[in-house]
Structure 1
Amino acid sequence: MSSDTSDLPNEVAERVRNVRVEDEMEQSYIDYAMSVIAGRALPDVRDGLKPVHRRILYAMHRSGITSGASHRKSSNIVGDTMGDFHPHGDKSIYDALARMAQEFSMRYPLVDGQGNFGSVDGDPPAAMRYTEARMAPIAEELLADIDMDTVDWQSNYDDRLQEPEVLPSAFPNLLVNGSSGIAVGMSTNIPPHNLGEVIDATVELIENPDATVEDLMEHVKGPDFPTGANIVGRNAVHAAYKTGRGRIRVRAEFEVEERENGSDRIVITELPYQTNKARMVEKIADAVNEGSIEGIRDLRDESDRDGIRVVVELKQNAMTEVVKNQLIEGYLEKTFGVINLALVNGEPKVLSLKETLRHYLDHRKDVVRRRSQYELAEKEDRAHILEGRLTALENADDVVDIIQDAEDRDEAKADLQTAYDFSDEQVDHIVRMQLGSLTSMEAAEIEDEYEEVQARIDRLETILGSESELLSVIKEELLEVKEEYDDDRRTSFIENTDEVTREDLIAEEDVVVVVTEQDYVKRMPVSQFDAQNRGGKGIIGGDIKEGDRVSKVFRANTHDYLLCFTNHGQVYRLKAYEIPEMSRTARGKSAINLLDLDDGEEITAVVNTDDFEDDECLSMVTRDGYVKRTDTEEFDNILSTGIIAAKLEDGDELVDVKVTDGTKDLLIATANGMSIRFDESEARAMGRNARGVHGVELRGDDEVVGMVAAADDTDENLLTVTERGYGKRTPLTEYRRQSRNGYGLMDIKTGDRNGSVTSVKAVAPDDDLIIMSRDGQIMRIRADDISEVGRNTMGVKVMELEGADQVASVDVVPDAGDEVEQEAEIDATEAAE
């Protein structure tokens, strides 16, 4: 736009800018919105407080209105807060103060109020001149150590004073007390939680940084409202913790009482959070008068200071279940919409449960680190003074003489510094020492104090020099807060017709499970690994512990029941989702937490029980070449400590297990590249305690590495992969059937280039392969990228390995092509829509 400035004075004209109205409106609105978002409406993730609450608490702290002081007029507190820190009007400040004192609004009230601060019936607080307040003991935990340079400070609105940008917050107040607020274009609604549960989850995250939301939910069961009541179902809670958003149904606590006259009554004792009791009773009465609810004879509110009690008297001929359901549907159940939105570094973000606790822990690490640095500087200063005093005590006679011979105090200081190299601070203390401090008792006290100070300095240096020590301090302080303020959960969970179990909360997806020789185990979504070209190095699939190596990788679905066979011939049953999901770079969790493994026992084969059908067997092969079949029904009831799957000779180990139906051939492969194929009927069905029969004759130090179950009319290939990353595909039809217990045929040339055979698998051309090295590299490739060649050949490079690394294990992701095509179809449909 243009503007004529010819009639304006020069100094005014120079300040005039031509701008577009829409641009100015847009920028001004954004500035206003961010001011409301950051300055009024949203809590900080670190201390869970909005600016008004933080300023009220700091003003009380500054004025000494702590839990041990006497109550002070609310108008006094509001005036101090408004005059020094929050110039937004006394009503908004008093409303915030009153809410912090309401036991029905705050799970753990931060203000100890005296007088009428409102009621669950919606009654407003009395005027601020009539009420009194002081900090609640738990509020002091939010301000603990604030005077030890633990947080950053900023100028107040008129630059007279300094106020904290955030409080140190010794517990995760954002989750413990929750928050609600409406900003510009966004809102937050965070439910309160049980302090003990939140602290336990925080400790879990300290001890296990890779903990998932499901792991944290083992501690934080769900919101814990100050008014109690019941949460209906757990799926919405899980969604809220996983994504930061969810809709939680909260139902009143009530019971149906039978009376002697044959009529029933419904007694309501707890209400959903933020329910106005008086309005609820009024609405029920209106519904009865209008006839929308039939069968209610009387309605009374018998609540008192001891708790809520609303009695609904029913007529003798009333259908109690119908009335109860009508009350639930319209009046006794409320939806709490969770929006876990908070300020992170000044920006609004929707956070999961884990993210919320992670940001809090980062804040506490900064607080404890800064506090330790502050205290260390103080202790070092004190130690310095004590060192000077100890030196003076050791040379007391000489020091006294120097002081006596000096004309004045300044000369005495100079002479002492010349004689003993004292600092200015030390000599100031020495010349002020009283003669009484020269006694042996005083000297002993100084020595004891010096030792204590030095021990504290050592401890503080340890904390500052070690992340684990820093976290241990945070953990210890959290547990102290829990011990002091923890109480019983008030909100319960009730079953629902559409109630889900934890299994229903776990996404059904294909995962890769990695097992190491030292029995660390974890799972990762297969989708994390994109298919690469043959001969690549892959990507990091695990941070393997020093001295440990990957021993097995296999594919499963999170909802599968797995039979885990070990080298000792034992078998355990495990649900795939029980294996902890972790990142690619995580080490994993010790399998001893999942399975009762003995020393030296490791998982060597995994079978999916969902593959079982009637009249099927489990065919097993050992390292020394023994093979046997056992009916699957013998593995129906597996103890938590496992059961015997196969009896082994001394020194022998179970190597592989396959599901067969009596019509298959078994193909056994050895480390030296030999293979033998025979009809599975040659290994008759035996019990679990049987050893089996010889399946292959081994030469020298050769040993069995794997087994494949093949059908006569199959078009599958035998994939063979060697320890140095070479492999090949050969049609299974090229392996003629023989009698068991022979030497078999050459499958692949091993030699110096290839190394020994690591794994054999039956694959289709459209399968994907997951290959993992012992040092933790993982790679996903298409099976048809590996050349199809004949038997007794060298193969091609499948995976590039570094140094002395070797291929540890291979597993198959079937029908990858169909999966890709389906995803492409979905993407195309979404794009069209």
Structure 2
Amino acid sequence: MTKKKPETHERILHENLEDIMAEGFASYAKSIIQERALPDARDGLKPVQRRILYAMYEAGNTFDKPYHKSAKTVGNVIGNYHPHGDSSVYEAMVRLSQDWKIRLPLVDMQGNNGSIDDDPAAAMRYTEARLSQISNYMLKDIEKDTVEWVLNFSDEKYEPTVLPARFPNLLIHGISGIAAGYATNIPPHNLNEVVNATIYRIQHPDCSLDDLMHFVKGPDFPTGGIVMGEEGIRQAFATGRGKVMIRSKVEVKQTRTVKQLIVTEIPYEVVKSAMVKKIDEIRLNKKIDGILDVRDESDRTGLRVVIDLKRDANDEQILNYLYKNTDLQISYTYNTIAIVDKAPVQMSLAQCLDAFIAHREDVVLRRSRFELKRKKARAHILEGLIRAVSIMDEIIKIIRASKNKTDAKNNLILRFDFTEEQAEAIVTMRLYRLTNTDVKELRTEFAALQKEIKQLEAIVADKDVLHRVIIDELKEINETFQTPRRTQVEAEFKEIVIDEKAMIADEQVVVTITRDGYVKRVSMRSFNASQGTPTGHKDGDAVLCYGPASTLDTLLLFTDRGNYAYLSVYELEEAKWKDLGSHLSNYLKIDGTEKMIKACLVKSFEPSIQIIMASKYGMIKRMRLSDLEVSRHNKAMVCMKIGKLDAMVQVQFSDRPDDLVMMAGVSGFALQYPVSEVARSTARTKGVKAMNLQKGDTIADFCLAAPETEQILVINTQAQMKRMKADEIAKIHRPGKGSRLCKLVKSNPSQICRLLPVTDQEIQMMADDEELTFKARDISMMPASSTFSTPFGKHENVAVIEPLTCVSNGQWPAEEEEVTQQTLFR
């Protein structure tokens, strides 16, 4: 007989998933905000920090006692109060001990507790720690019912919800944290300044921000530095949000051989080793000229980073460049958010002080009530003891006649009307207390207690007396901990002005650019040592152009998608002649699929130079070179609007209005007309029609020629060539079909590749994998009606390597008016 399975009753909840997630996340966010990431406005501590300090205090691990192993403290914190990972507790404990992160560390750690170079602290089993002296003032009077207590996670012990905190730790300590939907970033401030402002706020509750800023000048970072921007500080103190700039302190020193920039203070939370490495990278990559060496000479006596410069270097420009491009200068954003009444609040300076003052009022009141109750109880007992001394003989008789202690107490209460507490004190009193000296001590103690009780009653009853007590305790803090300001505050932010070219050495180099966008800068030494060797490029790529350049020149590049970009030659990474180089995407934002079609050098963007561009499907446009200059050139920008199926095929530079456009289609038709027939337009336009193309034909190339140009070199896609008279190209108005450049052979039609004006310069060309060098005048002179000669044999992949030339000043008018139409052809 089989047993029946017990019936199960399923409980199915029909709830919206969004509601379930929202409720769960709200609970999680509340926990993160209140119990982990944000500090309490009263004591300026996150829960983990508060638990660390209290666990050390509870274990007697105070500043006047021996050190304990850090592992012991971490174990106490995890086991009793903070059920999280040991690493999170130890890291919080280490940070509380680091004097380059906290103006006055709350933990005194012995051993390796990390460094300003971001070195990690030693493991907790190696380090020892105890509370610092100032932490004593964070926890003082905690046992006098000054704060609320709650059960710990296991309901075994009680822990404080806040520490008594005798000074405004939220501002002095400084803190950062990220919660769900909230983040806080509060810098450290000077202890003495904040305490003086607190005293003034107590005395003048309605004081203005200007009054408070008379005391609190701004943040005071443990690493020093210079804070610039009083307006940002004021905004932060007024609203809880603001931005300031922190700059390193740098001294310029002239030695016999070099100049030196000596850094003695750096911005807050900057990793010194990373900063030094960045400066050295600038030196190695020759981003600026003049830096010889960078050394970290820091030791136990203080921070010192030395930057050696050439004797004739512009130290001000170099320092400004380093301020702008390294962590020698950073921006710091105030975001003063803390927990007030269990909710996150963005707090002004006045609100931070008011929250602390309200907390201290509560703490001192609770302490006073606690001590008042205790002293009154003691005075009551002393009153009974003093009375008992005068009737001690009768009391002894009553005690001897009593059955036990309880009976003795009851008999004393009945006979002399003592209270329960007084009777207990009498029966437990030792006989030696009956001496004359002890009786006097009891009366002296009673008198002192009466005075203290009167003072405590005044504190509880009168708020002015309460405030005087708080002020006296704050003054004690100021006297005990003298903290001179380390951070210098400057009212105005000094804008950094950099003339980068003034810091670059004018050096001759060779620049190479490939069609796929690989570019490099080669020293003349490497270039001369590699004469006759092709420059390095990846398989399937081809060299677009190369040539000598100055490091002060600007490299201007055009792509087949109608975009252009430019960057300074000195910014290019130096490489060897045989190296591949770096892709342009390493220097600016550019689509990796774009092909380079033109590159040149410019010293300045002159309006007297005009740029002529043509697209594959017969459009042409003209614009000024000066129109390409922009303030930010870290990405590719549009110079000609190109359709998805179209492509820009050629770019040329015109230096005078009477230049001629000589344009050829792939099928062999060509025409020429003055460049002034192309209307000037702006960057984001398609241009105008350049040539009437037959069906299936496209633009192969165009060149600009002076009116006196007599001959043109024509090259086809098989590396066949011909030299012909320029007059044989049809001279007609734009647009037109043109005339044929060569005889049409239907069985093997030629496809035009390039048009080049004939000059005395050598032409370099890659035909398949063969590099050809020749002069145009060496090519056979042939009429337009003939086919082509084959001086180097037939090839499949043909690419002319152009010389990298510098665009010089032209003769185009700088004004906007159009050039007067001249005689079409001379």
Secondary structure in 1 matching 2:332: strand
- The match for 2:267 is 272
* Aligned partner (choices 327, 335, 338) of residue 339 of structure 1: 335
Instruction: Give the corresponding residue for 1:221.
Output: 217
Q: Secondary structure at the match of 1:101?
A: coil
1:322 and 2:317 equivalent? yes
Which of residues 422, 426, 448 in structure 2 aligns to 1:426? 422
Deviation at 1:259, TM superposition (A): 1.4
Q: Tell me whether 1:193 sits opposite 2:189 in the alignment.
A: yes
Matches of 1:166 and 1:25, distance apart in 2: 32
User: What is residue 57 of structure 1 aligned with on the other side?
Assistant: 53
The 2-side partners of 1:318 and 1:278 are apart by 25
CA drift of 1:99 comes to 0.3
Partner Cα separation in structure 2 for residue 145 and residue 456 of structure 1: 17
Question: Measured at CA, do residues 373 and 330 of structure 1 come closer, stay the same or move farther in structure 2, by a change above 3 Å?
Answer: same
Superposed, 1:539-688 pairs within 5 Å as none
Aligned to 1:478: 474
**Secondary structure at the residue paired with 1:68?**
coil
- The answer on 1:295 being equivalent to 2:286 is no
Matched, 1:182 2:182: no
Aligned counterparts of 2:419 and 2:125: Cα–Cα separation in 1: 56
Q: Using the alignment, how far apart are the partners of 1:99 and 1:407 within structure 2?
A: 64
1:206 matched to 2:202? The reply is yes
CA distance in 2, matches of 1:186, 1:481: 32
The residue that corresponds to 1:416 in the other structure is 412
One-letter amino acid of the counterpart of residue 487, structure 2: T
Aligned equivalent of 1:136, options 132, 139, 148: 132
Distance 1:320 1:79 in 2: 53
Match of 2:369 among 347, 370, 373: 373
2:306 to 311, 319, 343: 311
Equivalent position amino acid for 1:344 in 2: V
1:80 to 76, 97, 113: 76
CA–CA distance in structure 2, aligned partners of residues 406 and 78 of structure 1 = 55
Q: Distance in 2 between the 1:272 and 1:52 partners?
A: 27
Report the AA paired with residue 268 of structure 2.
Y
| Aligned residue among 63, 70, 85 for 2:66 | 70
TM-score, length-scaled by structure 1: 0.58
In the TM superposition, residue 70 of structure 1 has moved relative to its aligned partner by 0.9
The 10-residue stretch of structure 1 (289-298 or 186-195) with the greater mean CA deviation from structure 2? 289-298
Which 4+ stretches in 1 moved above 4 angstroms?
A: 7-11
What SS does the corresponding residue of 1:300 show, helix, strand or coil? strand
Q: Give ranges in structure 2 of 5+ residues lacking alignment.
A: 496-826
How do 1:42-191 and structure 2 match up within 5 A?
A: 42-191=38-187
**Residue of structure 1 in register with 2:350 after alignment:** 354
Cα distance, 1:72 vs structure 2: 0.8
Name 1:459's counterpart in structure 2: 455
For residue 176 of structure 1, report the CA deviation from its aligned partner: 0.5
2:462 & 2:288 partners in 1: Cα distance? 66
The aligned counterpart of 2:762 is none
Q: CA deviation at 1:280?
A: 0.2
Cα distance between partner residues in 1 of 2:262 and 2:130: 36
* 2: CA distance, partners of 1:24 / 1:411: 66
| Structure 1 residue 495, shift from structure 2 partner | 5.3
Please state how far the C-alpha of 1:267 moved relative to its aligned partner. 0.2
CA distance, structure 2, for counterparts of residue 364 and residue 358 of structure 1: 10
Letter in 2 for 1:472: R
- Give me the whole-angstrom Cα distance separating, in 2, the residues matched to 1:156 and 1:297: 60
Shift of 1:31: 1.3
For each residue in 1:285-306, what CA deviation from the matched residue of structure 2 results, as whole angstroms up to 9, or x when unmatched?
1111112122111111100011
Q: Give the letter aligned to residue 100 of structure 2.
A: F
Instruction: Give aligned pairs, total.
Output: 490
Measured on the aligned residues, the alpha-carbon RMSD in Å equals 1.5
CA-to-aligned-CA distance 1:69-100 (integer Å, 9 cap, x gap) = 11111111101100111111001000000000
Contact in 1 for aligned 2:230/2:492 (Cα 8 Å): no
Secondary structure in 1 aligned to 2:474? helix
CA distance in 2, matches of 1:226, 1:251: 14
Asked if the contact 2:103/2:173 (under 8 Å) is kept, the reply is: yes
SS of the aligned residue for 2:283 comes to helix
How far is 1:486 from its partner?
A: 2.5
User: CA–CA distance in 2 between the matches of 1:208 and 1:230?
Assistant: 31
Q: Name the residue aligned to 1:32.
A: 28
Quote the residue 2:575 is aligned against: none
AA partner of residue 113 (structure 2) = F
Partner of 1:436: 432
SS in 1 for 2:40: coil
CA distance in 1, matches of 2:467, 2:348: 22
Q: In structure 1, what is the Cα distance between the partners aligned to 2:466 and 2:349?
A: 23
Structure 1 residue 417 displacement after superposition: 1.0
Give the deviation of 1:493 after TM superposition.
1.7
1:758 aligned partner: none
Look up the SS of the partner of 1:478 in the other structure: helix
1:40 counterpart letter in structure 2: R
Which structure has the larger Rg over C-alpha atoms? 2
**Letter in structure 2 aligned against 1:108:** L
Aligned 8 A contact 2:245 2:493 in 1: no
Q: Post-superposition shift, 1:30?
A: 1.4
| Offset at residue 403 of structure 1 (A) | 2.2
Q: Which amino acid aligns with 2:92?
A: A
* Contact in 1 for aligned 2:146/2:364 (Cα 8 Å): yes
Q: Does 1:400 align with 2:396?
A: yes
Whole-angstrom distance in 1 between the partners of 2:179 and 2:403: 71
- C-alpha distance after superposition, 1:564-600 (max 9, x if no partner): xxxxxxxxxxxxxxxxxxxxxxxxxxxxxxxxxxxxx
Letter of the structure 2 residue corresponding to residue 79 of structure 1: G
**2-side partners of 1:11 and 1:154: how far apart?**
39
The separation in 2 between residues aligned to 1:103 and 1:94, in whole angstroms, is 16
Amino acid at match of 2:342: G
User: What letter is aligned with 2:51?
Assistant: R
| 1:446 aligned residue | 442
Shift of 1:425: 1.2
1-structure distance, mates of 2:389, 2:196: 51
Residue 41 (structure 1) aligns with = 37
Shift of 1:497: 5.8
Percent identity among equivalent residues? Answer: 44
1:10 Cα deviation from its structure 2 partner: 6.8
TM-score (norm 2): 0.58
**What secondary structure, in the 3-state scheme, does the structure 1 residue paired with 2:41 have?**
coil
1:400 offset after TM fit, Å?
Answer: 2.3
Aligned amino acid, residue 351 of structure 2: E
**Which secondary structure does the structure 2 equivalent of 1:26 belong to?**
helix
**Contact 2:52–2:93 (CA<8 Å) still a contact in 1?**
yes
How far apart in 1 are the matches of 2:429 and 2:151? 41
Q: Does structure 1 residue 234 correspond to structure 2 residue 230?
A: yes
